Each structure stands twice: as structure tokens, then as C-alpha cells.
Structure 1
Amino acid sequence: MKKNTQKKAAYMWDLMIPLLLMICILPLLVHLAVYRCGYSQYDWYAADDLLPDFYCYYKSYFIDIVAAFALIILAFRMGLYKEDTKQIRWFYPLFVYVLFVMLSTIFSMNQTASVHGNFESFESVFVLIGYVVLAFYAYQMMEHEKDYQIILYGVMGISGVFGIVGLFQVFHCDLMQFAWVQKLLMSAEEYETYGGMIEDTFSGNNVYLSLYNPNYAGIVLCMLFAVLFVMALTETQKKRKICYTVIAGLMMFLIWYTYSRASLLALIVVIVLAGAFLKPIRKKKKLWLLPLLLFAAGAFFIVIDVAGGSKYLSRMIDTNDREPLSSMTTEKNGIFLCYDGTDYRIWAENEQLYCRNLTTEDELYADMGEELSLPMEDDAKAVYIQEEQPEILLYLAETTLTFIRKDGTYYYKNFAGKISSMSDVKAADLHGLEYLGSARGYIWSRTIPLLKSHLLIGSGPDTFAELFPQEDYAGKIVYADSPDVVIEKAHNDYLTKWVQTGGISVLCILIFYVILLRMGKKKFYLADMDSMQMRLGLGCYLACISYMLANLFNDSTVQTSPLFWVFAGIVLSAAG
């Protein structure tokens, strides 16, 4: 009898491996991959589209492999033990979502990108389907207390590793800076070319862990904090309570140093909801302690930030300090721009450069080779020069732009030497709020007009950059600080999904979120936390809420989304 019990326990441990791989191994997977993004075909991108990737490429394929094994296990399990299969109706919205992901891939504007993933994302069709598989797997396989205990061990393990890595980064000693670490992430030949590129991604003491972007680190840390915070509040054994509290506190400390405002907001929501959901806190009438604790923690971190140069506080409130350049177009008879509400025309004629105020008809000019001071700004200027062909160099809004005339029409010449037309693009009117959210408002204003064309089927996974109006050089000068930057995401998961996989797919995701929220509230609100299933379930529930909230300002990524989908499956399993 004892032997059979041991076999059963070992079997259950095996079933948890796919989930543990997503929680513990995937976040740490960093290795160099060199690929071609295929954007060289566009005027707005350089001729050389060979790019290095450390953080997404191999994570993407790792998700594919683990999800495939999970699907095989599910098929055997549901085929052999039909009586143990849980009801699947909660996942109907996700099954419809998968259908539209597949349809969007079939009709994708770039099937190669949609099938294999592309450009700083690598969320291919297989990755998106893999997320659903992982959530369904967690839902079906989580059955016993030991299953939840094993997952908690995984959460604590990755939290401990991230805690160590994050502390090194806080104190300006990022492990990725060391040559011996970088040599583990690439071949000797690759190190000669790409060595040193990792630590140059971010400067200062931003915590990004092994996830590339501090925003992604903030989301993951917030989800881990939610689980550990609930465990700390509900634990009765003193030593364990101290352990959970210390690790949760470390996660909160590192969240601060991601300098991510979305993660900070999600953190506050998690703390407040934990106090509202837990019966012991409500029963002992200690809910009033939460605002006090938040205030004390806020005061503590503010003191730390001020001592460190107010790096965080300086980003807390967005101010509209953008240049008042609202449009710039290239046409046959010149370069037309609107600056601070005034329209101007700049053109070259008979070896002279002209600038005309189209409202007052005032006109300035300079001979070829002479600098022409422009009326838009004190330091605005232009010069008409003769290189291989005549060029107009325009310095405006702290940016130098090069223009040429070809076949009787003016064109913008980008950093890679390609010529491109500047034209007005469709944009939603945000009433001057485009600068909000580190100029996320600008990206949203250019994304919203794309939605009506993708109500049913999207442009395909990982094709956002190709659909976004990259020729909006004036907008990128003002809000992205460079006309040549590539906008690869909407910085809002729901907008990105709508564009890439269609409006119906977003509706399906939102329906699933509502199901998740309602089931979680019904099961965990003021319930007795007398089992690991209930405690971990509530922690994962709050983690999912933090992810949904943070993704109003961030996108789904291979760094953050696998943890969410695993937690979503755990919540439904615990609440079912």
C-alpha cells in the first residue's frame, strides 16, 4: 500500500513539471539568437535587418515545446480518465479566441512573422495557443493539496533567484555586465560581435532581472508578490510567516526599482484587495491598517528615491513638455510643417533656400551653403548643401532631418539613407493628451484608427509594427524623440490583440477575464483560508488582477504572459 502511494505521489510530481518549467525555468532563459526581422523591405527601416535577441527568441520556442508536451499529456489524461476530466465550459471563450488567432495567422499580412514570431516579441501563433494550453493544463491537473504546495515551492524558488539578481542590479552590479556571464550566453565568435550589448540596454540601477525590460520585471514581480503576500497574511506557523514576509518584502522593494508606474499601481491594488478579501483582517477590524501600511511604505521609498536623485518621482507625473510640432509633410513644391499652430513651407529654388510663413506670407531665404535661421524656435535652422545631390538639412525640435528632391518631389532621407514620403496619418483626437504614459497616448491615438479594419480578423500575430503608420515621422519626432524609431507595440495589450488577432478575439479574452474574476470572487471573498488550495488560489487570483491592470499600459510578452496563464488555470482549478 505504501509503495502504491509513493508511485502516485511521484506521478503527481511529474504532472506539475510543465507548470514548474513555466514558473521557474522560462524566466531565466537568456541566450543570443541572431535573426532577420524582414523590415528592410520598408522605406522606414534600414537596409540591414539582421538583429540580435537575448530575451525572447528561445523563450518563444521553449513555450512551444512545453505546451506541446502539456497538450499530449492532456490528451492521454482526458482520454484514459474521462471521469476525472473537469468541465470545460469556462474555457469556451478561449477556444473561440484560439480560432480567431489561427484565422488571423492564415490571412496574416506576414505569415512568416505570425508563424515564427518576430521583432522583440516572438509571440507567434503557437505561443498564443500555448498560453491557452498551459492555462487549461493547470486547470485540469491541479487536484490535490500537494499540487498547490509544489507550485508554491516553485514560486518561492524563482522569487529567491530574482531577489538575488535584482539586488545586484539595484546596487549597480548587474550580473549581465560580467564578461564570463555573457560568454555563457553566446559563442566565442558571437561574443566578438555582440559582447557588451546586454548591459547597454538599460543604464543606472533599473531592475529588469532576466526579462529585458523593467516594465516586464515589474509585472512579474507584482504577480509573485501577490502570491507571497497572501501566504504571509494567512500563515499561522511563525517561521514560515517570517519567510513569506521577507520574500514578499523583497519583491516589493524590487518593484520600486523597476521605476514602473503601472506595476506600482498594480501593487497597491493587490495590497488593498488582499485586505478586502481576507476574513481574518476584516473580522479583527484591522482593515484600517492597510492605508497606514501603504502610507508608511510610500514614505520610506520616497525617502530612498530622493536620496537617489528622485529618479522615480521625476516620472510619477507626466508633463506636456513636447515640441508643438503637429505635422510635417513632403510634397512637390516643398516641405510643409505646422508648428505651434502656424503653417510653414520650406523649399529650395535657384540655389537658394526659402522659408515662408503661410499665414503672414513673411519669407526668409539664404544662399546655398549658408545657414538659414527659422522662426519656429530660437535654435531652429536649415541649410541647403550640395553633396552627391542637393540636400536640405533641417534642425528642428532637437532633431536634424535630411531632405532631398527627386523626380520633382521632396522626400525625407532617413538614417539608413533610404528616402520616404512624409504624410499626415489618421489619428484619434486625444485632446492634447498624447504625451501621457510616457507618450503611450501618442501610440494609442495612431492605433485606434486601425481597429475598425480588424473587427473580425487581425493582421496576424507579431505584425503590429508593419501595420502601424511608421511614416508618421513628425509624431515620432515629438513623442518618441526620433523620427527613425520603430513602434513595435501598442503598449496596451488589448489594443495590440485587437489589431493582430481581431476585435472578436479581444472580446473572447475579456469574457474569460470576467469568468475568472467572478469565479474567484465567489470562491475566495471572505472565505476560510484553511487549505493550500484556497491560499494559493487567492494569491494567484490577485496576481491575475495585477496582470490585467498592468497590461492596460503594457503588452503581452513571452516574459510575463506564461506566468499569468498558469496562474489563471490555477485560479479556476481552485475555485471550480
Structure 2
Amino acid sequence: MKFRPVALVSLFGSKVYHMVDQPQKAKAAQVLFLTSFVIFVAVIPWIVRLKICPIDNNIFLFWTGLHSVNDFYSYYKSILVILAGVLSLIALAMALLKAEINLNRTWFYIPLFFYAGLIVLSGINSDYQTIAWLGGPDRREGALVLLAYLLVCFVTMNMLRTKRQIKIILIALMVSAGLLGILGISQYYGFKLITSALGQYLIIPAGLRDTFHLVPSSNTVLATLYNPNNAGMYFAMAFVLTLVDFFHISKPRGQIMLGTICCITFASLLGTYARGAWIGTCLSLILTVWLLRKTIIQRRLPALLITFCLLLTYLIMNQTGLAALNTRMGSIGTDISQAQLANPWVPNNSDNGVIQGEYGNVRLRLDNNELTLQAPGQPPLKIRVKEGRLSFYDDQNEKIRLGADNRKNWYFRSPKYKDYSMWLNNDRLSLVIGDVALPELRIIDGNYLWFGSQLTSSLTGIESNKHTLILRNKVNDMLSIKLEEGKIVCSDRDDRILPLQRIQDRACYMIADSRFADYLLIQKNNILLIDKGGRRIRFEFTDQGVLNLDVFGRRVPVKPAASLGFAGRESMFSNRGYIWSRTLPLLKDAIWLGHGPDTFFIYFPQDDRIGKYLYLYSAEAVVDKPHNLYLQTWMNTGLLSLLALIALFGYYIISSLKLYSRDRKEDLFSSVGIGCLAAVIAYLISGFVYDSNISVAPVFWGLLGLGIACNLLYRQSIDKITWDL
């Protein structure tokens, strides 16, 4: 059977080629294409393997101070992405040379090729060629990877011609997403396959297994996708795609299978706690329900069943997880409005240097090596430390015996203290009374207790006034620190000298004032390390004033970087307001070609150490992405490339809505087309707070190509002569 084109015309136009007859036997080119596509969307998300990547000398000063990065999630994925792109190109060339297909004629090529050309020019123009073409440390999304994304998308919209191909792709996608979802749910409930002995055997090369030991992460879903945000984007796409396809399958067995995968991906989406992905999913579902309104009414029973199953899934996840989903969802409005939550610590100063106050409804009193706790309706508890050992006493100074459960959580054997629980890890103690989790306690030098996590109000500013370091917090307290004759002198906003508690013979001091109970000051000559609740930053007192010291020992002025917008809202969207405010002033220098793919971290003001300490909680943090897909594109490959992407995405969404909002024929092309549209919209909305990344972007670009192909095929199936919208 031969393929006969409609007409031999130019590449760009309004008609598309179609197959008059379908081949009875799969061609080698089609097999190669399907293989590359399955690798691209179903295999790559699973790749986890350790690769120790050295940091190039020309970017060393922009990085963390380490000479290499332990890359588990990006290096080998990037190789497979490029391989899949090459295989798909070979498949297309084979099909064209053998006259098995002709290229579709569609306006989609214009923004696609324009974006590809700008990627190449941006890479050529970049001052950091290796990064621009191969990608940055632990990300690996350079020009070659970006071009591979576009190549697979382009080949898919031309090579995809039959329902059989679509079914094979859907099966691969659903199986991959379902298994990843099961892995994610297991992580949510505490089983960490990746960090288990078997997981480490699989992902760590034999020669490195004795030197690497992975520590289990918190009980959030990340699957094999690097972090929960990436997992949220992936499961958002997988969920809406599966849900749409569920409504277009009539056989009970197929409905059960798709319904099960739908619930699995939905559960994993919830378990990521990725609020941006939740918002993207909800907005995508609103549009999807509108497009499927007639189908949903016609298939009321399956619609009610899947709604009930999804609601039940949510209730189970909410009741059985370590953190309530309701609380996480409720925080979305607070995060957007930036309503200031009251600090739970209410200090109560005394004249004898004893730290005391209330945290929530729990009264605390810390005097050197003894902490006394008193919660409403609970018996008092005293915690003492001596020579590194903790002991616990009741209000009669009777020692309380301890027990431990299977999860190594400690509890008191006395029934009076049944509402107390704790977890001890070396020199750190976490304590919970009822539903109040107290700040972490740390043992200092074996004989002192100190609050090793955030207790007092968060800092909002650090500045240098000649030879004085000034720290300000949210409740308008001010701490001034200076060196007088080599000794630390601290004072408050009223210039009252604050008492310091020295730790044995070390030049290490706690501030004996309840307003600054979680500050630890460590001095070495004229260098001062400030540890506030476990967050450290170093300063040097010099004749020129107070300077900050970075990880390389370089002196950095204590002043903020240039910013634009988000003043007072730096903490918005999990501190994205800070990153965006420092990124916006940089855009004017990246209009034409940007700075090169994946070079964002080089041009972000990494020397804004005070800003990073205040809002990212570590002055040593490296900001390697803007947490916004659109800012990321502008910075890396330029404003023109961003406009090309917006044109591509906008044209796809508008043409799809025009195609599927009218009375439509129920078939596989329209079903998958609407599913891909929903997935693309969920991803693009999530992109306002997340970035393109090599764990999830291949799935997105694959679904975009699949969606465009389905649009063309569906249009062809309903019109005698197919016209591109």
C-alpha cells in the first residue's frame, strides 16, 4: 500500500497531507519513531543514576564551593533525551526517503523553527559555551537538549498517522505514569525505594557504593523526578490526560484500568504538596469539563463513579498523611495575599538572664542546662543535659523512664505524659506536646541546651552601619552587634546592653534575652559567625566596616542587590518573590538572545548573600533557576524566543479550542487531542511558579507533539479537504 499526498506544495500552508491507504505492515521508520517516542515520554522519567560531574573552572566561583556535583537525576536523562531526538530524526529521514510520508503543511512550524533558530544563536553567542550547549550542573538542559525537545515534537506531528500508533503510545504513557504513581504513593507513606539498600544498589555505581549513603527524604512524593515540584508537574499532566481518556472508553475492563491509573496519579499529585501543580490541574480541569460537558452528561454513571473514587482518594490521603492536605491547600490564599502570620513565640524577659516565654500555648523556661515546659492541661516537664546525655524529670524532680516505638519515636512510660512524644538524633531533640511541635533543641558542648531551629521572629534586614552590624526582624526588634577591644557587645533598639552566656571556655555565646533566644554567636578574632536557629552567616569586622564572608573567604559588602517589585512580599510563593524581584532587573540585558541556555545561575546575583540568607535561609544557596518557566526562557535564550514559545503555545491552545468546542465526533483522535490539551494547559499554568526541567519537559514536549498530530488527524477525519486552523 502506498502513501499518496494530496498535493505537492510548499511546506507552509493550509492543507495537510493524509493517508489514503494505511500500510498493513509496520515500516522500520515507524518502529524506530515509536521506540524513540516511548523512550522520550515513558522511559526517561525513570532514569536515576549517580554521575559525579566536575565543576568547570570558569563557573566555579558561581557555584557552592564544591569541585563536583553528585548528579542522580539529570546527566543520564540528558543523554537519553538527545539520543531520542537523534533516533526520531533518523526515523523521519527514513520515512521521507522511502516516500512513506510527506510532511504536514501547518503554521505550527513557524514559531517552532523560529524558537529553534534562536536557541542555536543564543548558544553560539553565549560566553559560556560548555554550559550553553551541554547544560549547567545538576540541570543539564543546554541547547542540545532543548533542540531535542523540539525535534521530537516536530517529528511526532509528522510521523504520527494511525490510531494503532496512538494506542501504543498511550499504553506506554499510562504504564509508566501508573508505576511512577505507585512509587510516589509508597514514598508518601514512608517506604523509600530509592534510598533503600536495593535502590542504592541500582543507582550508585559499584565503585562508589562504599562512599555514598543516601538519607531518606521527608514523606512527600518525588518519585524519580528530582523534587516534589517536578513530580507535581508530571502527575498533573498524567492525571488530566488519563481522566479525559477515561470518559472516552466504553469497555468496563478499560474503564477499571484507566480509573485505577487516574486515582493513582491523582494520589501522587496530592502527595507532592506542589500547590502550583494543584492550581494548574484545577484550572485545566475547568476547561476540560466544559469541553467534555456533553460526554459527561451522556456518561453520568462513570462520571459519578470516578468523582467518588477521586474524592475518596483525597480523603484517605488527607487523613493518613503526615501533613494534612487541607492545611497545605489553605495556605495558597495566605501565600498569595502575604498575610503575616503571628510568630508563635511570645518572649517574657527577666532580669536574671533566664530565657522564658510562650510558644503557642506552651510555656518555656531555659536556664543554661535545664528547660522547663508547661502546656495547658499537661504536667510540667523538665529536660536536663549533662555530659551530652539528656534526662527528663516531672514536677517532683522524679526521673521519667522512656520507651521507643518501631519508628524510633521516643515516648514517656508514665501515663501522665501520654501526650508527649519526641525524636532524638545525636545532639538534636524534637518534641511534640499534643498538636504543638516545639522548636528543635540542640545540645551545645555537652552541657548546654539551645534552640537549634527558628524560635524568634524571622529577620527582615541585615545592614552595616560603620563598625556595627544591625539585624532587624518582623516584630521590629533590632539587634546591634559590634566588637569593642576584641569582645562582642550586643544591644537592642533602645541601646540597652544585652547579657551574653558564654559556652564553657569557647568564644561561643548565647544571648541571654528571650527576644533573641535562638541566636548563637561564635567569634574567632575579628570574624563572627551568627547562627540563628541553625541558619549560619559569617561577617568580618574591618577598618572599612563590617563585611560578609562567602564560602571562598571573599569579602562581600553588606548591601542588597538590585531588585524590582515584590518589596515586602519576598516570601510570596515559598520565597519566589525574592528570586523574581532579583531576576526582573536582569531581563533588560537578555532581550535579543539571552545569555545562553541554562546559564541563569551565572547571571543571577549570587553575591546577594544577605538576601539569600533572609529569604532562602542560606547565604551559600545557589539560585540556579528563576522558578518561572517564562522568566527562565527570557533569561536563557531571550525575549524573542519567549515570544516564539508563547506564539506556539497560544496557537496550539486557540486552534484546539476552536476544533473541540464545536459539535465533535467521538473518536480516539479527539479524545487524545483533548487530553493532550488539558495536560499542556496544566503544565503551562504550573510554569508560572516552576521551571522547565529535564525530568518532566520531555513528557510535555512529547504530549504537545502528540496533541498537534491528533488535531491534524481529527481535522482530516471530519473534513473531505483538511484545512489547518
- Structure 1 length normalisation: TM-score? 0.88
1:335 aligns with 2:469: yes
- Identify the residue that residue 59 of structure 1 maps to in structure 2: 77
1:491 aligns with 2:627: yes
State the alpha-carbon separation in 2 of the partners of residues 42 and 17 from structure 1.
39
1:574 aligns with 2:710: yes
State the alpha-carbon separation in 1 of the partners of residues 200 and 647 from structure 2.
43
Compared CA separation, residues 331 and 313, structure 1 to 2 (3 A): same
State the alpha-carbon separation in 2 of the partners of residues 94 and 505 from structure 1.
10
- Identify the residue that residue 722 of structure 2 maps to in structure 1: none
Matches within 5 A, 1:316-327: 316=329, 317=331, 318=335, 320=340, 323=457, 325-327=459-461
CA contact (8 A) 1:423 1:471 kept: no
Matches within 5 A, 1:38-187: 38=56, 45-78=63-96, 81=99, 84-187=102-205
With 545-554 and 429-438 compared, the bigger mean Cα shift is at: 429-438
State the alpha-carbon separation in 1 of the partners of residues 86 and 605 from structure 2.
36
Structure with the larger RCO, 1 or 2 (CA within 8 Å, 6+ apart):
1
Deviation per CA, 1:505-558, whole angstroms, max 9, x where unpaired? 111111111111011112222543532222112111111111111111110011
With 436-445 and 73-82 compared, the bigger mean Cα shift is at: 73-82
- Identify the residue that residue 482 of structure 2 maps to in structure 1: 347
- Identify the residue that residue 238 of structure 1 maps to in structure 2: 252
Larger Rg: 2
Compared CA separation, residues 303 and 370, structure 1 to 2 (3 A): closer
1:459 aligns with 2:624: no
1:519 aligns with 2:532: no
State the alpha-carbon separation in 2 of the partners of residues 569 and 381 from structure 1.
54
Name the structure with the higher helix share: 1
Deviation per CA, 1:352-400, whole angstroms, max 9, x where unpaired? 444577x867777989958584989432657574x4x432233447534
Matches within 5 A, 1:541-560: 541-560=677-696
State the alpha-carbon separation in 2 of the partners of residues 181 and 324 from structure 1.
38
AA matched with 1:308: G
AA matched with 1:85: L
Deviation per CA, 1:448-477, whole angstroms, max 9, x where unpaired? 111122111212112212211222223222
* Deviation of the 1:95 alpha carbon: 1.6
With 472-481 and 490-499 compared, the bigger mean Cα shift is at: 472-481
State the alpha-carbon separation in 1 of the partners of residues 640 and 512 from structure 2.
50
CA contact (8 A) 1:446 1:468 kept: yes
Secondary structure of 1:402 counterpart: strand
1:502 aligns with 2:642: no
- Identify the residue that residue 203 of structure 1 maps to in structure 2: 218
Matches within 5 A, 1:376-525: 377-379=515-517, 385=523, 387=524, 389-396=525-532, 399-405=535-541, 408-414=544-550, 417=553, 419-525=555-661
AA matched with 1:174: K
Compared CA separation, residues 190 and 311, structure 1 to 2 (3 A): farther
Deviation per CA, 1:77-123, whole angstroms, max 9, x where unpaired? 44654972111421211222222222222232422211221222110
Unaligned runs of 5+ in 2: 3-21, 344-456, 713-725
- Identify the residue that residue 314 of structure 1 maps to in structure 2: 327
1:255 aligns with 2:393: no
Q: Percent identity?
A: 25
- Structure 2 length normalisation: TM-score? 0.71
Deviation per CA, 1:141-162, whole angstroms, max 9, x where unpaired? 1112222122112112212322
For these two proteins, the number of residue pairs brought into alignment is 567
CA contact (8 A) 1:333 1:410 kept: yes
With 486-495 and 103-112 compared, the bigger mean Cα shift is at: 103-112
Secondary structure of 1:313 counterpart: helix
CA contact (8 A) 1:353 1:365 kept: no
- Identify the residue that residue 400 of structure 2 maps to in structure 1: none
Name the structure with the higher strand share: 2
Deviation per CA, 1:418-461, whole angstroms, max 9, x where unpaired? 54333211122324222222112221121111112211121211
Compared CA separation, residues 103 and 342, structure 1 to 2 (3 A): farther
Secondary structure of 1:52 counterpart: strand
* Deviation of the 1:127 alpha carbon: 0.6
Secondary structure of 1:133 counterpart: helix
CA contact (8 A) 1:326 1:474 kept: no
Compared CA separation, residues 280 and 143, structure 1 to 2 (3 A): same
Secondary structure of 1:177 counterpart: coil
Deviation per CA, 1:25-73, whole angstroms, max 9, x where unpaired? 1111111111123479666754432111111111011111221222233
1:266 aligns with 2:280: yes
CA contact (8 A) 2:152 2:705 kept: yes
State the alpha-carbon separation in 1 of the partners of residues 293 and 527 from structure 2.
72
Secondary structure of 1:89 counterpart: coil
State the alpha-carbon separation in 2 of the partners of residues 480 and 294 from structure 1.
39
CA contact (8 A) 1:464 1:488 kept: yes
AA matched with 2:218: S
Unaligned runs of 5+ in 1: none
State the alpha-carbon separation in 1 of the partners of residues 309 and 170 from structure 2.
29
Question: Alignment RMSD, CA only?
Answer: 3.4
In structure 1, which of residues 280, 294, 297 is the aligned counterpart of residue 294 of structure 2?
280
